[in-house]
Amino acid sequence: MKKKQQHPGGGADPWPHGVPLGGAPPALGSWKRRVPLLPFLRFSLRDYGFCMATLLVFCLGSLLYQLSGGPPRFLLDLRQYLGNSTYLDDHGPPPSKVLPFPSQVVYNRVGKCGSRTVVLLLRILSEKHGFNLVTSDIHNKTRLTKNEQMELIKNISTAEQPYLFTRHVHFLNFSRFGGDQPVYINIIRDPVNRFLSNYFFRRFGDWRGEQNHMIRTPSMRQEERYLDINECILENYPECSNPRLFYIIPYFCGQHPRCREPGEWALERAKLNVNENFLLVGILEELEDVLLLLERFLPHYFKGVLSIYKDPGPKAQVNWSSPREPWICCTRPRWPYHQRRHAEGRWIAGGGCLGLPTLIGVQISCTCM
């Protein structure tokens, strides 16, 4: 009779039918010894720890990749070490670009305030300095619905940075819709002069030529087109009334319906937005000094702009006629002059900190309080 084998540790043999493939497991307390699980696979506690550490590093690296929006530094170093691989370029978003200067600038230009000249300069500067100039073909829609605001802000925010966006549009609050608030700039002018420029522009375009004005306003009646501006003011035509002269303030007040109502509320909100969101609000009558300040404040966009402006090449020129009754225009628009004076106060302060001479020498035909 075959004698029953005894286990070395005492008791019955746990493997009565023979040792399983790879050998028997070690006794308790013997994990430090190498254990043959398979003929070609052996591991120890140290090997197990190394595998777990490798897995942990891989998981952390993947987590950092997702959080930073791009590959971790050690992967970039690895790519540089191994060669110019395109794998990292083809997988996942590129790392976010943090620029040492304002990379999002909005110029919500006010109509008939020299914006055509400034945009012409920006086209030259964008090619020279390599920033992204984003323009719009929409020129006659300054008030937007909530959905239109969201869509426009989304389109602006996804533009390649650094960018400068420009359009005739009332102030947009990017933070209200979850976007990063850009730096705003703008240029205004004497409200009466702006009104005069717009009055003739609607009738005769830039050059007051017959073909030009027929294309711009073909439905305007001849008696309306050639209406004397003094008669328009004295007879209180709708075109020469307060709402037209209130045109500037909504560009700083914003998209709220009350911003389109002449009054203290719109004025105070416009002043608040100027203080909190606008880097500079220049004055057209002092355009060269405005350009100098822009060159100092935003050199990555406007460096060399003054020399380009002074170049004898062609520029957009604005001409207007003065009415015989300027005091009538002036006694009506109370709020635009308050907004202008507020901008002038910031304008003088901005010039003083740069050591510029007295910048404000604008002659207003009467005192509007």
Question: Which has the higher per-residue pLDDT, 217 or 6?
Answer: 217
CA atoms within 13 A on the CB side of 279: 19
Give the pLDDT mean for 263-271.
Answer: 95
Give the pLDDT mean for 193-217.
Answer: 70
Strand-pair category, 35-38 with 41-43 = antiparallel
Q: Following DSSP, what letter does each residue of 199-247 receive, concatenated?
A: HHHHHHTTTT-HHHHHHH-TTS-HHHHT--HHHHHHTT-GGGSHHHHT-
Please identify which of the residues 168, 213, 256, 300 carries the catalytic annotation.
168
Whole-angstrom distance, CA of residue 258 vs CA of residue 265: 8
∠ CA(115), CA(117), CA(202), 5° rounding? Answer: 60
Rama region for 33: left / alpha / beta (φ>0; ψ in -120 to 50; rest): beta
- Residue 79 is predicted with a pLDDT of 58
* CB neighbourhood size of 280 (10 A): 20
* CB neighbourhood size of 348 (10 A): 14
Whole-angstrom distance, CA of residue 70 vs CA of residue 129: 27
**Residue in this structure with the two tokens 């398979």, named with its chain if needed:** 38
Domain boundaries, the chain: 35-90, 104-353
% of the chain at pLDDT higher than 70: 58
Would you say residue 205 has pLDDT above 90?
Answer: no
User: Which tokens sit at 189?
Assistant: 């002018």
pLDDT in tens, 167-177: 999 999 999 99
- Residue 196 is predicted with a pLDDT of 86
pLDDT in tens, 281-322: 999 999 999 999 999 999 999 999 999 999 876 554 434 344
The pTM (predicted TM-score) of the whole model is 0.61
Peptide bond into 336 cis (omega under 30): no
List b or e across 158-171, with b for residues whose CB sees 16 or more CB atoms inside 10 angstroms.
Answer: eeebbbbbbbbbbb
- Quick one: three-class SS letters along 65-87? HHHHCCCCHHHHHHHHHHCCCCH
Note if 168 is an active site residue: yes
pLDDT in tens, 324-364: 444 444 444 455 555 556 665 554 444 444 444 333 333 22
pLDDT in tens, 83-123: 554 554 555 555 555 566 899 999 999 999 999 999 999 99
The SS3 assignment for 191 reads helix
Does domain 104-353 bear CATH number 3.40.710.10?
Answer: no
Give the pLDDT mean for 55-60.
Answer: 80
Residues 195, 329 contacting (CB under 8 angstroms): yes
- Residue 253 is predicted with a pLDDT of 97
| Mean pLDDT estimate for the chain | 75
